[in-house]
Amino acid sequence: MSAIKKMVKLRIWRGDSKDGALQDVEVEANEGEVVLDIIHRVQATQMSDLAVRWNCKAGKCGSCSMEINGKPRLACMTRMNMFEEGETITVTPLRAFPVIRDLVTDVSFNFKKAMEVPAFEPPADLKPGEFRMQQVDVERSQEFRKCIECFLCQDTCHVIRDHEENKKSFAGPRFFIRIAELDMHPLDILKNRKQTAQEKHGLGMCNITKCCTEVCPEHIRITDNAIIPMKERVVDVKYDPLRWLGSKISKREGIV
């Protein structure tokens, strides 16, 4: 039995940092295909110089992030059968980052922000091989380790998407889960991680509108499990005088 074939309409943004436009194209689609398959077919048959970043085609490398019908998505995980019959599918590069060419953007902002997050700091007397942790103590952090760094959360976050000037002072949801992961880690002893989250990485800029959670292809509950818990931890050390006083009278766990 042969696979069902049909023609689909696409509008693909083509251009560079100086200029660009959406270009219409019609291409064949087969049953079971995803948007990345269709883009590859366009590249093979009609636009041989179309720039697109991709790698694993399995939703694990985070390379093929783009905006499909205006929503930040992984092209390799967006199935063609989710679109209506005859619907024109619009494909653009990520709109929060500088465009390089066609569907490829410069996401180096994220790597700079990654370098600004203070690294994991275990107790000085613990040597490699001596780390011992209970499963219940690390499972919160493990959720955040699922991140594939597709940067869809960064792309959709209005703090930087709609305000270029905030990029200086805002790390973004991907790095809030990194900070939360470390702050919740049972062996991380770095002091002031909460304070720097607020003062240096811009946690207070987040107004918890949850778009990062909505677009995460790994279904990490970024807002509920990382950002809001970090905001509460920041309140403990910066905005709650009773907790602060309590921490001075007796050493309380978590208040550092």
Partner 1 sequence: MSGVFSSTRAKISERTLRTDRWWLQPAITVAVLASFVVYASFRAFEAKNYFAEPLISPFYSPCLTSRCPEGASLLGHPFGTIALFGMAISPALLILIFPLGFRMTCYYYRKAYYRSFWQSPPACAVAEPHSKYTGETKAPLILQNGHRWFFFAGLVFNVILSIDAILAFRNAQGQWGHMSVGTLVLLTNATLLWLYSASCHTCRHTIGGRLKHFSKHPLRYKLWTWVSILNHKHANFAWVSLFGVALADVYVRFVASGSITNFYFF
User: Under the rule (CB under 8 A), what is the footprint of partner 1?
Assistant: 13, 15, 17, 19-22, 67, 69-72, 87, 90, 92-93, 95-99, 105, 134, 136-137, 155-156, 158-159, 161-166, 184-186, 202, 204-211, 214-215, 224, 228-229, 231-236, 238-240, 253-255
Shortest CB 1 distance to partner 1, Å: 33
Torsions phi, psi of 178, nearest 5? -65, -45
Shortest CB 41 distance to partner 1, Å: 22
CB 177 within 8 A of CB 149: no
Nearer to partner 1, 3 or 245 (CB): 245
* CA distance to 188, 245, 246, per residue, from 241 (Å): 25, 6, 8
DSSP 65: E
Nearer to partner 1, 15 or 59 (CB): 15
- Measure the CA–CA gap between 57 and 59, rounded to whole angstroms: 6
Nearer to partner 1, 5 or 16 (CB): 16
Nearer to partner 1, 4 or 132 (CB): 132
- Single-letter amino acid code for the residue at 70: G
Shortest CB 2 distance to partner 1, Å: 31
Shortest CB 222 distance to partner 1, Å: 13
Closest CA to 65 of 223, 219, 217: 217
Q: Is the dihedral of CA 188, 192, 195, 199 positive or negative?
A: negative
* CA distance to 30, 33, 34, 95, per residue, from 40 (Å): 13, 11, 10, 21
- Measure the CA–CA gap between 180 and 59, rounded to whole angstroms: 24
- Single-letter amino acid code for the residue at 150: C
Shortest CB 57 distance to partner 1, Å: 24
- Residue carrying the six token digits 């990345």: 36
Nearer to partner 1, 22 or 47 (CB): 22
Nearer to partner 1, 45 or 108 (CB): 108
* CA distance to 9, 60, 130, per residue, from 136 (Å): 49, 26, 18
Shortest CB 30 distance to partner 1, Å: 23
